[in-house]
């Protein structure tokens, strides 16, 4: 049994199809949505990995901010600020961003810079995880 699923960004539809399960990172922790799941709206983490079993394939996306809405009648809708397909992520660039932001955090120059670096670090780690999961490495 499957349900309609859509992953939306400001640029448009990032992923759409019939899903048998969707896992999202919410501010309260991971949430799995399965067919017949209750109606719910939840805030998503600032950075994390979405996993969707869709149209017979497992897909991973690094996602940033947003909300998830599930309705028994209309399916699952995930609206995010940004979504990066795990297959398309440039691993070298993500690792460089991780290392650069770790250095900024360790330098502790300015509290605002550290807060920005922590968010950028979380995004880089989400991209690395999505890429590794897409390649079957985790």
Instruction: Return residue ranges of the chain for CATH 1.20.5.
Output: 89-134
Confidence of residue 78 (pLDDT cuts 50, 70, 90): very high
Nearest CA-CA partner of 134 in 90, 82, 93: 90
Least confident of 28-32, 61-65, 108-112: 108-112
pTM greater than the 0.85 cutoff: yes
Record: fold of 3-86: ATP Synthase; domain 1 (2.60.15)
Q: What is the mean pLDDT of the chain?
A: 93
**Which one has a higher pLDDT value, 82 or 136?**
82
pLDDT of 111 higher than 80: no
Number of Cβ atoms within 10 Å of the Cβ of 136: 7
Asked if pLDDT for residue 49 goes beyond 90, the answer is: yes
Structural tokens at position 70: 């599930």
CB atoms within 10 A of CB 89: 22
Q: How far apart are CA 130 and CA 25, in angstroms?
A: 12
**Closest to 64 measured CA to CA, from 47, 50, 86:** 47
CATH code assigned to 89-134: 1.20.5
Where in the sequence of the chain do the CATH 2.60.15.10 domains occur? 3-86
Cβ neighbours, 10 Å, residue 91: 12
């Amino acid at each position: 049994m499957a349900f309609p699923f859509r992953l939306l960004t400001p640029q448009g539809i990032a992923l759409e199809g019939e899903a048998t399960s969707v896992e999202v990172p919410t501010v309260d922790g991971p949430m799995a949505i399965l067919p017949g799941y209750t109606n719910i709206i939840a805030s998503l983490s600032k950075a994390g990995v979405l996993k969707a079993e869709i149209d017979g394939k497992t897909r991973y996306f690094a996602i940033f901010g947003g909300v998830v809405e599930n309705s028994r009648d209309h399916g699952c809708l995930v609206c995010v600020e940004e979504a990066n397909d795990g297959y398309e992520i440039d691993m070298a660039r993500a690792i460089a961003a991780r290392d650069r932001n770790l250095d900024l955090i360790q330098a502790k120059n300015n509290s605002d810079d550290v807060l920005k670096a922590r968010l950028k670090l979380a995004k880089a780690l989400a991209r690395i995880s999505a890429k590794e999961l897409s390649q079957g490495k985790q």
